[in-house]
Amino acid sequence: MKNIVIFGAPGSGKGTYSAKLVERYGLGHISTGDVLRGEIKNGTELGKTAKAYIDEGKLIPDSLMIDILASKLDSFAGEKGVIYDGFPRTIAQADAFKEMLAQRGMKIDAMVELVVGEDVLMERLLRRAEIEGRADDNEETIKKRFVEYHAKTQPLSEWFANEGVRQQFTWPGHMDEMLSGIYAAMDKLMA
């Protein structure tokens, strides 16, 4: 089973490209943001805790996120690959993830980083706010999410580079061009 992390700032397109990859290669998928929004919708204790952080544009504590991931990981057994969308987001999560995979005889096989300028990100997120109505897609919270991203998540890009799995794709201005670069890399990985 190939373990593929999709990485990037809020609004970089992690969800959009994940969906494309899931369809093209027949992969399993976990979006930790979607898991948390599901918990909030169902009014669970975890959802209540998560909401307080999400509404503030903050990351959920590592221990909680690591437990969530661990509880889902075994359900992917038998898939030829899985896309991790929005996880890991801190070095502590990445270290725990690497360990969790190692215990199962696996590793992180690829990290796909979506590199997009902040002006484009803000524009996309504000547009998404109008379409999807996500509570954390307002200008004030978006700015806090960017601060959190730069402080805690961006440094993780180097961590993946050190693991020898980082592949960066810079937004060329067109989705088709972005996709063809990602597909070329993924075709090799999944061959």
| Residue 134 bears catalytic tag | yes
Which of the residues 14, 37, 51, 166 is marked catalytic? 14
| Residue 143 bears catalytic tag | no
| Residue 166 bears catalytic tag | no
Which of the residues 2, 37, 51, 145 is marked catalytic? 145
Q: Under the criterion CB under 6 A, does residue 32 sit at the interface with ligand AMP?
A: yes
Parallel, antiparallel, or unpaired for β 110-115 and 81-85? unpaired
Task: Identify residues 42-81 at the interface with ligand AMP (CB under 6 A).
Answer: 53-54, 58-60, 65
Structure tokens at 78: 């038998």
Min dist CB 30 to ligand AMP, Å, is: 10
Q: Under the criterion CB under 6 A, does residue 116 sit at the interface with ligand AMP?
A: no
| Residue 127 bears catalytic tag | no
Binding residues for ligand AMP, rule: CB under 6 A, are 10, 32-33, 36, 53-54, 58-60, 65, 86-87, 89, 93, 136, 145
